[in-house]
Each structure stands twice: as C-alpha cells, then as structure tokens.
A and B are shown apart, each in its own frame.
Chain A
Amino acid sequence: MGILNAFKVRMNTLAIVLIPVCIAIDWAGHAVASGLKLPLFLDSIGTVLGALLAGPWVGGIAGLITNFISSGTVDPIAAPYSIISLAIGFAAGIGGYYGWHKTWQGRVALYILIVLVASIGSTPLNLGLYQGQSGVPTGDAIYAALVKGGWPTWLAAYIDEASGDIPDKLITVVVAILIYFGLPNRYRALFSVWRRTGDEKAPAPAPSV
C-alpha cells in the first residue's frame, strides 16, 4: 500500500476526458493572469486541480501535455520543463491521495511540496539552458547580485528560481483548492481517487437521524 497505491492506474473514460479540460484550465489560468497583467505565470492550476480530483496520473499527464502543446505553439522553451509539470502533477496527486487539501496543515504541506518540486526540478534545467538564470527579470537581478557577491552559481540559480515559484505556486494551490471545494460534492465523488482495497475496513455507517 502506501504511496504507490496513489499511482494505481484508474483511467476510466471520465478521467481521460478530464485531462484535456485540465490542460485548457492551465492555459486559461495563464491567459487570464497575463490579461490582468499579473506578474505570475499561474499555468499549473489545471494540473493541480486535476491531480486533486482524479489522482497523480491525470494531473501529471495534464501538466506534461500542457507543456508539449505550448512548446509546439507559443513557446518552444517550455518543452524541457514538461518534466517539472509532470512532477508537480504527481506531487499534487500524492497530496490529494492522502487528503492533504482537506486540512490546514495539509494545505501548507501541499504548497511546500509543490514549491520544492518545482524549484528543485527547474534549477538544473535553468543551469543547462540559461546558465542558471530563470528568465524572469526580478529573479535574474537577484541572481546577478548573489553571483557578484561570491555565492556559488547553483545556489544563486536556486534562489532565482524559488523567488518566482514561491508566490506563483501559492496562488496556484489556493485557487486550485478553492475551485475544488467550489465543485458540487456529487461531481467530486465521480472521480474518487481514494478507493478502498480489500484489506482496508469500511468506515462506520453514518448515524441515522
């Protein structure tokens, strides 16, 4: 059991149909943010929401294909980062499997996990592609100051990347959780990531009123 149980493939038609919708939400999240001229990407709300609703595979595949499609249409540099989107979907799916989004401590843990996955994963890519910069002017100004001050490039690159991820993923997780709880109960139950296996006991029946 344990963590691997979250990855058991439960891909019915409904879960597959959810994936393109999550991809579209990723795009819309980014488009609305740039329409409002917000200084954040907000392009993984669908990934996190899909993972909370239907598990790590739906979230991960949604993230992966979001990046593939954007690299084929608007931004080729998104392609190498598709692996990070996959990891964010997996992370959120594991969090969702354990029901982290239902408690306050869990929500904070989910946020921290996603920030860590995104920033630790992106840093080696930034080092390979951009010599450690993140391509965001404010972050790169921090990077320049730190390297100038004698910090090792990998650490400066990490802080550069994290300075973008910390606010970005906060809004992403908050919006995804708000939407999750805005959905009708009946709808959320359709996906039910969490399913009892044979050796787990059924919960006590609800008290009759």
Chain B
Amino acid sequence: MAGGLSLYQEGASLLHRAHPLTKGVFTLSVIALAFIVPSLYWILAIALILLILVIVAGVLRRLIAVALALLLPIAVLLLAVQGFANPANHTVLFAIGPVVYYTEGLYIAAIAALRITCLVVATFLFSFTTRPADITEALMQRGLSPAMGYVVQSALQIIPQTLDMAGRIQDAQRSRGLETEGSLPKRARAYLPLMLPLVLSSLVATQERAMALEVRGFGLPVKRVRRYEFADSAVQRVTRWALALAVPAAIVARLLGWK
C-alpha cells in the first residue's frame, strides 16, 4: 500500500486519452444497464463490450488478478445459496443425500454473479485508465466545490500514511507485550490499544493542517483558474449524452414489457 492507493496504470490507449467525464459516464451507465437489462444474453453482451475495452486499454492481465480475487468468493457463495434455497426452485438439478440443488436457483445466481462481474470490471477499467487527480479536476471544472476536491485528494494521500502508521503502532505495542495473535477474545482485546494511539495522533495533526491551508488562501471566495484543460471532442460529448440517455430509455423499455 506504500505506493499510494491509485490503481492507475500509465498508457496511451483510446481509454487513457478519453475525457475523464466520458469514462465516468460510461462506467455508471454500463453498470446501470447491466442491472436493468432483462436476460442473460443482454448481460453477456455488455460483458463482451467491457472485455473488448479492457483488451484495448491493455490492462487484461492486471484486471483478471484483482477481479478474480474479489469475484470468486461472491460467485461461489451465490451459486451455493441460491441453488439450494431460492423460492423459485422446483426443477432438481442434482441431489447429494439430503442436499438438493435446483436449476432455477443456479440460473438466478448466474445472472446475479454476471451483473456483479460487469460492475466490478467496469469500475476497475475506469480506475486503471483514469488518474484520481484527473477525475476530481474534471469534476471541479464542472462545478464540484474545490473543498470536496481537496477532501478526496487529501484522503488518497492520508490513507497510505495512516496505514503505515498503523503498522508502526502495531510493532510498538507488540514490543510492549500486546498480544495480537491467539484466540478471538485475545485478538479483539488488542483492537483498542492499536486504534486509540493511531486516531489520536492523526486527529491532533488536523489543526495545524487547517492553519497551513488557511494561510495559503484555502476557502477564500475567489474564482479559481483551471490547472489544465482536458482534450474533449464532439464525438465524446455525443457519446456521453447517448450513454446517459440510454439508462432512462432502458428503464422505460423494461416498464413497457421488454423481456
């Protein structure tokens, strides 16, 4: 975690060069559509589009590593529970002794798992191809308050520092005889002695940080200038609007009986 939190990977692909807002709108719309479309085939089509974009962005290998670690336990849990206990179950797929597994549950679990896969892949695709600084800068250019931009950027810097400090505090407390291994009650008792010093020291630093920011003009009611412009194009603007409008259109289609 020491290298910062961002998953961004340098690159020059179409996705890396796209305007951050285009990528943001794409991610949100694709996730919404994956949950709106009615059948397995539509979800598979969305997953296929995402897969092509992942390959275009050149992040396939990294994405498989992080996405599998996250998705595998969820998929297993979904397939196990729904195939065994879903109100729609009545066609037996197989039975091992008293444990009966049903087809309907399997199908429902597969759809749910695929939708979650689309969510995870679309989000990682965005994080791999967009600098966190770029997305906050783009949002601030569209009217996000600079204070919120500061909060996000500052949190991304403070989190790794705090996690480092947590490691140091753990070493210090263990050298004083704090038990961090063993039975559950023993480990639970170690929680507070680790958290208290961490929180107190990070909170106490805030007052100085606030003063340091204020003397540099943070919070002054002045007009801010842009640090840099993002390349935008008519094609991207049209894409953004088309993607944003596809979501309500899909909801209306579903309400009108799209199956």
A and B bound? yes
A72-B126, A182-B196 known; A131+B86 contact, CB < 8 A? yes
Q: Which residues of A contact B (CB under 8 A)?
A: 11-14, 16-21, 23-25, 27-29, 31-33, 35-39, 42, 45, 49, 61, 65-66, 68-69, 71-73, 75-77, 79, 128-131, 133, 135, 137, 140, 143-145, 147-148, 153, 171, 175, 178-179, 182-183, 187, 190
Give Cα distance in the complex from A38 to B184, angstroms. 7
Asked whether any CB of chain A lies closer than 8 Å to the CB of B25, the reply is: no
| B155:A24 contact, CB within 8 angstroms | yes
Residues of B within 8 A of A39 (CB): 184
Q: Is the CB of A144 within 8 A of B84?
A: yes
Whole-angstrom distance between the Cβ of A146 and the nearest chain B Cβ: 8
- What are the residues of chain A within 8 A of B155 when measuring CB–CB? 19-20, 23-24, 65-66, 69
> In whole Å, how far is B75's beta carbon from the nearest beta carbon of chain A?
11
Which of A24, A36, A129, A148 contacts B112 (CB under 8 A)? A129
Give, as a whole number of angstroms, the nearest-CB distance from A140 to chain B.
Answer: 5
Chain A neighbourhood of B85, CB < 8 A:
143-145, 147-148
How long is the Cα–Cα vector from A114 to B74 in the complex, in angstroms?
A: 26
Q: Is B96 an interface residue (CB 8 A)?
A: no
> Could you say which residues of chain B place their CB within 8 Å of the CB of A23?
151, 155, 158-159
Residue in B5, B207, B213 whose beta carbon sits within 8 Å of that of A69 in the complex: B5
Which among B70, B116, B158 is the interface contact of A20 at CB below 8 angstroms? B158
Asked if A129 and B116 sit within 8 Å, CB to CB, the answer is yes
Q: How far is the CB of B214 from chain A (nearest CB, A)?
A: 5
For B120, B158, B170, the residue with the greatest tally of chain A CB atoms inside 10 Å of its CB is B158
Contact (Cβ within 8 A) B147 A16: yes
Residue of A nearest to B119 (CB): A76
- On B, residues with C-beta under 8 Å from A are 5-7, 35, 70, 74, 77-78, 80-82, 84-87, 108-109, 112, 115-116, 119-120, 122-124, 126-127, 132, 147-148, 150-152, 154-156, 158-159, 161-163, 165-166, 170, 180, 184, 187-188, 190-192, 194-196, 198-200, 202-207, 209-210, 213-214, 218-219
**Interface majority SS (helix, strand, loop, mixed), chain A:** helix
Given A16-B151, A17-B210, the answer on whether A133 and B180 have CB atoms closer than 8 Å is: no
- Whether A130 lies near B78 (C-beta < 8 A) is yes
B184 contacts which chain A residues (CB < 8 A)? 38-39
Please indicate the chain A residues that have their CB under 8 angstroms from the CB of B109 in the complex.
Answer: 131
In the assembled complex, 23 residue pairs joining A and B whose CB atoms fall closer than 8 Å, in A order, are: A13-B213, A20-B155, A24-B158, A24-B161, A27-B159, A27-B163, A28-B162, A32-B195, A38-B184, A38-B188, A45-B195, A68-B152, A76-B124, A130-B74, A130-B116, A143-B85, A144-B80, A147-B86, A148-B85, A153-B87, A179-B196, A187-B203, A190-B207
Asked if B206 contacts A17 (CB within 8 A), the reply is yes
How far, in whole Å, are A182 and B204 apart by their CA atoms in the complex?
12
Closest to B200 in A: A182
Given contacts A36-B187, A128-B35, 17 further A-B contacts (CB under 8 A): A13-B214, A18-B203, A19-B151, A24-B155, A27-B159, A28-B199, A35-B180, A36-B190, A69-B159, A71-B123, A77-B70, A129-B116, A130-B116, A131-B78, A135-B74, A147-B87, A178-B192
Q: Is the CB of A32 within 8 A of B194?
A: yes
Query: Bound complex: CA of A145 vs CA of B184, how far in Å?
Result: 26
In the bound complex, residues from chain B placing their C-beta under 8 Å from that of A129 are 112, 115-116
Cα–Cα distance between A17 and B180 once the two chains are bound (Å): 32
A20 contacts across to B, CB distance below 8 A: 150-151, 154-155, 158
Contact A28 B198 (CB under 8 A): yes
The 3 A-B residue pairs whose C-beta atoms are closest, nearest first, are A76-B123, A20-B155, A24-B162
- Give A38 to B35 CA distance when docked, in angstroms: 33
B166 touches A37 (CB 8 A): no
